[in-house]
Amino acid sequence: MSRTPDFRALAALVLLILAIPVFAEDDEDRFELKFAKDLEFRGGRVTVDHGFGKLVIRTHAGNDVQVRATIRSSDEAIGKQIRILTGADSSGVTVETDYPDIHSRHGHLSYSVDMTVTLPANAPLTARNRFGNTDVRGLQTASSIDNKQGAIKFAEGRGAQSISNSFGAVEVVGNRGNLTVTNANGSVHVRDVDGVLNVSNRFGSVDVADVKNSANITNANGAIEAMDIGGSLKATNAFGSIKASTVSGSADITTSNARVDLSNVNGSAVVRNSFGSVVATTIRGNLTVDGNNSKVDASGIGGDAKIDTGFGGVTLSEVGGMATITSNNGSIKASDISGALDAEARFGSVVADRIRGAASVDSANGSVTLKDIGSTARVKATFGPVFIDGVGGAVTVSNANGSVSVAGLRGNGCHPVSLTTSFSSIKVALPDSVGYTVNARTSFGRINTAFPITTSNVSESAINGTIGRGGCKLDLVNANGNITIEKE
């Protein structure tokens, strides 16, 4: 059953926005104060704890940490109480923005601090910002960035990076190392990562590309798009579509209530979906699709294909191995299968063409059409006609309430034929060059043959005998319909 997203987090955001001060910058009598300080970096870590303003992080070749800031307030008394606290020792450098306690105030009040911190390129960083944007560039070692109520931009990094945000977008362009991004209520945009990528998000889209290693993406209530993944891809979503293309390794895709588009995967692919369609093309390994209420369209599969869905049709073509298809309430179309086909359908037709191996079909409430089958053909059907044309092996059809028609038995070899139905007709076309041993009978119908039959027992409703030299089995059994034996 389809679910609906939880909007409680969005309601909390509205209340939070109403509660915080407004950082207006258009006050004519605005108080403004510049701050500048340089701190020696003697090792350890640079820690920045900031809030209520923009935070910019840059690197340089020097060995000091440079702090530059602009303090603004609509109230001079409040502005003078805002402080920037710094410290430096062998454990590292600390920078902190300190605001006075403001319990209540009448009228309009705004205040903010915009800060730029420039640190040595090899200094690890822990940065935190609340209620403001954060812009980071050039970090060359493992660092951690945490932001809230504002956007994060990160570029030209090196080393393992951890970036987290809430109520704002995250944009990363360029990192030579592993990258972990955690976000909520904002989009995530990642490009050019030379390492393992891990992304987790809620209530926002995720867009990643040009990842040299594997990628693991988890999202909810937003789309996922992943392109040019150098390793394997694992993408998990809910209430959002997934589109992935050009994956060097395997692909593991899970979503619900949305569409999946997967293409150009060098390894195998597994797709799980419910209440959304699946399109998979050019999968060089095996393909497995587990769908619930999902239409599936797949082509260009290098290995085996296994598709199981309910309340959705299946179209499958160009499979290098075997194909196994199950559909409860939709039609099945399969073509250009290099291996065997095993198809099962309820409340839908089955059409298969150019199957180089054997074909085995079970159908409950739909027609079955098989053409150009390279090996044997077996069909079990109920409430639907069966048409077979072009078979390289034996043919076995068991039908209950539909007609059976078989033609195109290839070559001069023996193709045993066993056809059974009730309440409809049986028609089979035989080649001239093959001898058959005939056992044909019907309860309420006639038997018509275009071949002379040397009979051991003959009546209007039953024939036992041979066509030509005999030898190849031809069993035709009907209950309430005619049987016709034609020449090919």
- What pLDDT, in 10s, does the model give residues 129-165? 999 999 999 999 999 999 999 999 999 999 999 999 9
Residue ranges matching CATH 2.160.20 in the chain: 185-267
* Res. 22: pLDDT tops 50: no
Which contiguous run of DSSP H or E holds residue 8?
Answer: helix 8-19
The pair of structure tokens assigned to 37 is 């300080």
- d(CA 485, CA 474) in angstroms, rounded, equals 10
Question: Tens digits of per-residue pLDDT, 370-389?
Answer: 999 999 999 999 999 999 99
DSSP 358-400: -EEEEESSS-EEEEEESS-EEEEESSS-EEEEEESS-EEEEES
What pLDDT is stored for residue 105 in this prediction? 54
Identify the weakest region by mean pLDDT among 22-31, 177-186, 348-357, 400-409.
22-31
- Give me the percent of the chain exceeding a pLDDT of 90: 85
pLDDT over 70 at 1, yes or no: no
Q: Strands 64-73 and 111-120: what pairing?
A: antiparallel
pLDDT over 70 at 45, yes or no: yes
pLDDT-derived band of residue 10, with 50, 70 and 90 as boundaries?
Answer: very low
pLDDT at 8: 40
Residue 455, pLDDT > 90, answer no
Predicted confidence (pLDDT) at residue 342 exceeds the cutoff of 80: yes
Which pLDDT does position 12 carry in this prediction? 39
Q: State the average pLDDT for the chain.
A: 92
Angle at 274 between CA 271 and CA 275, to 5 degrees: 130
pLDDT band at 17 (very low <50, low <70, confident <90, very high): very low
pLDDT of residue 20: 40
Which one is predicted more confidently, 316 or 109? 316
Q: With cut-offs at 50, 70 and 90, classify the pLDDT of residue 9.
A: very low
Alpha carbon 44 to its chain centroid, in Å, reads 43
Alpha carbon distance 69, 50 (integer Å): 11
Q: Which CATH code for domain 185-267?
A: 2.160.20
pLDDT tier at 310, thresholds 50, 70, 90: confident
pLDDT category of residue 106 using cuts at 50, 70 and 90: low
pTM of the model: 0.88
What number is the average pLDDT over the span 114-128? Answer: 97
pLDDT-derived band at 433 (thresholds 50, 70, 90) equals confident
